[in-house]
Amino acid sequence: MIDNVNLYQPRSPTWCPGCGDYGIWASLKNAIKIMNWDLDKFVIVYGVGCSGNMTDFIMSHGFHSLHGRALPNAEGIKIANHMLNVVCVVGDGDCYGEGGNHLLHAMRGNSDIKVLVHDNRVYGLTTGQTSPTSPHGYKSKSTPLGVIEYPVNPLSLAITQGASFVAQGFAGDITHLITLVTAVLKHRGFAILNVLQPCVTFNKVNTYTFYRERIYKLDDKHDLRDREKALSIVSDPGHKIPLGIIYQVERPTYQDQEIVLQQGPLVKQIIKNPSEHADLLAEFSEVEKESYHMAG
Ligand SMILES: Cc1ncc(C[n+]2csc(CCOP(=O)(O)OP(=O)(O)O)c2C)c(N)n1
Ligand code: SF4
C-alpha cells in the first residue's frame, strides 16, 4: 500500500489565486484520506480544462483524457476492472457540453463511477467563453450580445436520467464540500456532485459573493429518496441555490448486471480461446493498415 501522504504531490497548482478549483482539490484529497483508500485501488480520470489540470497536483493513478471524454474512459476502466474505484474530475464545458452525450448514457445505466464537476459557468482554460451552464444573456467573448440559450440544469438532468446520487456543493465552503465528496466516494452507482466553482479571472457574474447571497443547505429532514421533491428543489423559481445531497437511491449498477463481470474482473479473467483473440487482433490490424493507406 502506498502511503496516502503521497496525495500531496510537491508540484504546486497553477490555478489563478482565489480560483474555486483549490477548494475542490482540498476537498477531494481530504475525502480520499477519510476513505483511507489504498492508492492502488482507485483511479482519477480527468477531462481537459483548468479542472483537468488537477491531474498534475494529485499523486494517484490517473488518466488525463480528452475534453468531453472523461466519462467513457472511466466507464471503460470500470468495465476492465470493476474492483477499482473510479472518479472523474471534469469541467462544466467538458461534462455538460462536449461530453453531454456521454453523461446521459452513463447515468442511464447507473454505471458505478463518481463525477465531480467544477461548474464555473465558463470555459476557463480557453479564457472565459460561454459554457452550457452560463446564465441566459451572459456576455463573453463568444457571446458578446448575450447568450441566447437557457442554461443546462445539471441537477434535474441527473435526477431524471437515472443518476442514483445527485448533490451540489460550493467551492467556498470546504468543510461542507469534504462531507459531500466523501458521500460521493461512498456511494455505489452513478454519483454526480456539481460544485459551484467561481472562476475569479473570467466570470465576473457568478462570484463568491453571488453564491453566498443565494445558497442554502438542505437540512436533515430532507428525504433523499423523494424524487418529486428533489426535482422541485432544483428548479426553485425563487433562484435560491440548494447545497447538499439532493437525491440518493440504491439500485443495481451497470457492472452488477453485466453477467460476464460476475466471474470476476475482466483483467483477471483467462482468455479461454487465445486463437480467437489472435484472429480478432489480426483482423483489426488489417483494418488499421487499410485505413492508414487510404488516409495516405
Ligand atoms: C476535443 C477538444 N475540444 C475542445 C478543446 C478545447 N478546449 C480545451 S479546454 C476547453 C474548455 C474547458 O472548459 P471547462 O470544461 O468548463 O473546464 P474549465 O477550464 O472551466 O475547468 C476547450 C473548449 C480540446 N482541447 N479538445
Ligand atoms: S481561469 Fe478561472 S477556472 Fe481557470 S484557474 Fe483561473 S480562475 Fe480558475
Is any ligand 2 atom within 6 A of the Cβ of residue 174? no
Same domain, yes or no: 167 and 25: yes
The total of other beta-carbon atoms located within 10 Å of residue 174's CB is 17
Q: Cα(first)–Cα(last) distance of the chain, in Å?
A: 48
- Kindly give the number of the ligand 1 atom that is closest to the alpha carbon of 119: 16
Same domain, yes or no: 268 and 251: no
- Residue 45, C-beta contacts closer than 8 angstroms, at least 6 positions apart: 62, 63, 65, 70, 71, 73, 74, 77, 86, 87, 88, 89
**pLDDT for res 5:** 43
Mutate to test the pocket of ligand 2, among 131, 201, 208 (most ligand atoms within 8 A of CB): 201
- Kindly give the number of the ligand 1 atom that is closest to the alpha carbon of 98: 3
- Residue 42, C-beta contacts closer than 8 angstroms, at least 6 positions apart: 32, 60, 61, 84, 85, 86, 87
> Residue whose CA is closest, atom 6 of ligand 2?
16
Is any ligand 1 atom within 6 A of the Cβ of residue 123? yes
- Measure 158 CA to ligand 2 centroid, in angstroms: 25
Summarised one tens digit per residue, pLDDT across range 198-241 is 999 999 999 999 999 999 999 999 999 999 999 999 997 667 99
Same domain, yes or no: 137 and 282: no
- Domain of 80, CATH number, reads 3.40.50.970
Same domain, yes or no: 54 and 166: yes
Structural domains counted in the chain: 2
**pLDDT for res 3:** 42
Summarised one tens digit per residue, pLDDT across range 170-196 is 999 999 999 999 999 999 999 999 999
Domain range holding 289? 263-295
Same domain, yes or no: 122 and 204: yes
Same domain, yes or no: 132 and 48: yes
- Residue 206, C-beta contacts closer than 8 angstroms, at least 6 positions apart: 120, 121, 135, 196, 198, 199
The single residue listed with the C-alpha cell 477531462 is 47
Same domain, yes or no: 254 and 270: no
Same domain, yes or no: 175 and 291: no
Same domain, yes or no: 120 and 185: yes
- Kindly give the number of the ligand 1 atom that is closest to the alpha carbon of 49: 19
Same domain, yes or no: 210 and 288: no
The helix/strand/coil state of 49 is coil
Beta strands in the chain, from DSSP E residues, in sequence order? 42-46, 61-64, 85-91, 114-119, 122-123, 129-130, 165-170, 191-196, 215-217, 241-248
Same domain, yes or no: 274 and 253: no
Same domain, yes or no: 93 and 113: yes
